[in-house]
Amino acid sequence: MGQHGAPRAPFRWDRVTALAAVAAVLLGAPACDHGEERPEDSGPARAAELPVDPPSDDVAQALPLAELEGHYRSAARRALEHETTAEGVEMARHAARFARLLALRERDGTWLATSRRHLREASRRRSLAGACDSAVELARLEAGDAGDLEAAYLVAYRTARRFSGEQHTSCLAEARRITAVLDAHRPSSAELAAIDADPNAEDPTGGTEADSADSQMERWARGRGDLGSALIESIAVYGAPERGAPDPGVVRVVLRFDKVAVFRRSELPEEGELPRRVFIDLEQTTSGESVPRATTVGGAGLQRIRVGTFEPGTTRVVFDLDADARYQLFILTDPYRVVVDFDRSGPGEPVPTPEGDRRRLATIVLDPGHGGNDYGARAEGLKESILTLDIAERVEALLARRLPETRVLLTRRRDELVSLDQRVAFANAAGADVFVSLHLNAADDPVEHGGVATFVLDTTDDRQALSLAARENGTSQREVTGLQTILASLHRQEQLVGSRALAELVQRGALAGCRRTLPDLPDRGVKSAMFYVLVGARMPAILLEGSFLTQPRENRALATPQYRQALAEGVAEGLVRYGRGE
């Protein structure tokens, strides 16, 4: 149905449950309750300011989920507003605490990574009260929540060497106690020597976030077991400006390989006439004859791409950048690809709009799934690729009447193949405010009850969601599971909240439209899954599975223009309501 498409210890709840209790005793941190989830409030998150005295863990755990998310957002916003003050450090610690509690309630989310990020940032404010305590809390998180005792040791070890002075006496004592308790998990002497040499390096876990992501990708690649003699088949650039056209501000570069290749990333600053350079060295890799040695781009801060042999068996790909360019690098599989997104302002950070305020909807990108020789799902003579294009065109026509000032773009207008990489790159380059990928579901086994489901990009342990993502990505469930921790780090929590708000409204609208024909059509709800087509989106982005092609009643309904029109009307209604701020 698809087309070609960890941190030190993977985040596994069964492992965390046991380790959290152990860490609570070892580190003196309260053990987290990993029991049954509490009832959740399905209403919108509150936008109220964080109280002067934020609720305790016991009180916060009993709050409705939406209210707890509201406390998190308020703390995170105030941490940003006061980031140069001790109040900002305190608010970052509150945000981290709420994120850890949310990680217990939304186990398929990325709240743990969010909590880690807040504690890292707070611990870097070394001259401010609370910074040292933030680092100790980070060590406890690594041990108790993430179950990575070696990482916890590194954080505590660095903390003991980074902070000094009487104001940190109790904090330093606690950091030293943690290293003593975790002595059996002491990392290599080389890692500790690196900390001794520079205890004030940026990342209190012993490396930058980019280093951490790179090490995860390297471990993933080496674990595939089919390394050696890889070939760069092509380098595609999406979003580069045409001559004389304005800079779109976002460019995606995709390196495509015939098999997995291990790489290392490095960066050199601007030196005289030499520009800033980011390069990746690919082990046991050569470039194909059709791959150009130099490609001029001139957009999103990416000047050009150069390819050459660095040393025998190693190919170096160099990106010449402007000083203000930013980039994000990740990998995808089947076929194996290294994807690099460039821009001048960093990934989009859409902030959820309070209820009642209108949201910006200047540009909407609709993505009809599949196309060309990738038919998607097929049943009873119907092809998903044909139907999704028809539904997208119907949504476009409806929005032209209901949102006349909004530009609506489609990723394809013919029955043609468009790569997953190109679809979201198109939306990024267009400056889209939302991205909606339209699909129809299918199942290998007979389906008695189909229904409508809408997905946002996030990790999951739901078997059906993993299986569906594998089919849509054109890969195996093993690859989706193995990569989802890495890919989840590419979007920010604020974007996820915006995507969920969009998904809820589109799901509600699509279901209501379809139920005009099939009144008892099941509601499969809003879910998380790691769909490659959503990876790297800088705006709220969702994927709709609007009915099952392999369910007999839904198949017969999808064959009629009336049902497809009702589905399109539901999608359009959801988008209109999202723009209104509902």
Q: Where along the chain do its domains lie?
A: 13-207, 219-343, 363-580
Q: What tens digit of pLDDT does each residue of 371-381 get?
A: 999 999 999 99
Question: How far is Cα 151 from Cα 142, in angstroms, rounded to an integer?
Answer: 6
For residues 247 and 54, which has the higher predicted lDDT (pLDDT)?
247
> How many C-beta neighbours within 10 Å does residue 144 have?
25
- What's the pLDDT score for residue 211? 55
* Residue 351 CB coordination number (10 Å): 12
H-run or E-run covering 249: none
- CA 77 to each of CA 45, 48, 101, 405: distance values in angstroms, whole numbers, following the listed order: 15, 12, 18, 31
pLDDT for 191-237, tens place per residue?
788 788 777 764 434 344 555 677 778 877 877 756 668 999 999 99
Per residue in 63-117, pLDDT (tens digit) is 888 888 888 888 887 876 676 688 888 998 998 998 888 888 776 557 887 888 8
Place of tokens 């809003």: 526
Question: 219-343 with 363-580: one CATH topology?
Answer: no
Query: What is this structure's pTM?
Result: 0.66
What integer is the mean pLDDT of 467-493? 78
- Distance between CA 489 and CA 58 in Å, rounded? 29
What pLDDT, on a 0 to 100 scale, did the predictor assign at position 363?
97
Residues whose CB is less than 8 angstroms from the CB of residue 411 and which lie 6 or more positions away in sequence, other chains included = 365, 366, 367, 368, 418, 422, 423, 426, 427
Give the pLDDT band of residue 497 (cuts 50, 70, 90).
confident
pLDDT in tens, 354-391: 444 688 999 999 999 999 999 999 999 999 999 999 99
Structural element, H or E, at residue 582: none
Query: What are the C-alpha distances in Å from 25 to residues 29, 126, 185?
Result: 7, 28, 16
CATH level 2 (architecture), domain 13-207:
Up-down Bundle (1.20)
**What does pLDDT average to over the chain?**
82
What residues contact residue 326 under an 8 Å CB cut-off, 6+ apart?
Answer: 301, 342, 343, 344, 345, 346, 347
Q: Domain 219-343: give its CATH architecture.
A: Sandwich (2.60)
- The answer for residues whose C-beta is within 8 angstroms of residue 437's C-beta and 6 or more apart is 367, 369, 423, 531, 533, 534, 541, 542, 543, 544
Q: How far is CA 152 from CA 115, 131, 572, in A?
A: 15, 16, 48
Alpha-carbon gap, residue 557 to 540, rounded angstroms: 30
Other beta carbons within 10 angstroms of residue 225's beta carbon come to: 6
Higher pLDDT, 530 or 558: 558
Facing residues of 365 across strands?
409, 435
* pLDDT number for residue 345: 59
End-to-end CA distance of the chain: 34
Rounded Cα–Cα distance for residues 225 and 104 (Å): 34
Please tell me the distance from the alpha carbon of residue 158 to that of residue 153, in angstroms, as a whole number.
9
Q: Which residues pair with 457 in a beta bridge?
A: 529
d(CA 212, CA 85): 28
Q: What pLDDT does residue 492 have?
A: 60
Task: Flag whether pLDDT at 7 surpasses 70.
Answer: no
List, for residues 135-170, the tens digit of each pLDDT value: 999 999 988 887 888 888 989 999 988 887 666 788
What is the mean predicted confidence (pLDDT) over 535-550?
94
Task: Encode pLDDT of 389-428 as tens digits.
Answer: 999 999 999 999 999 999 999 999 999 999 999 999 999 9
* CATH, range 363-580: 3.40.630.40
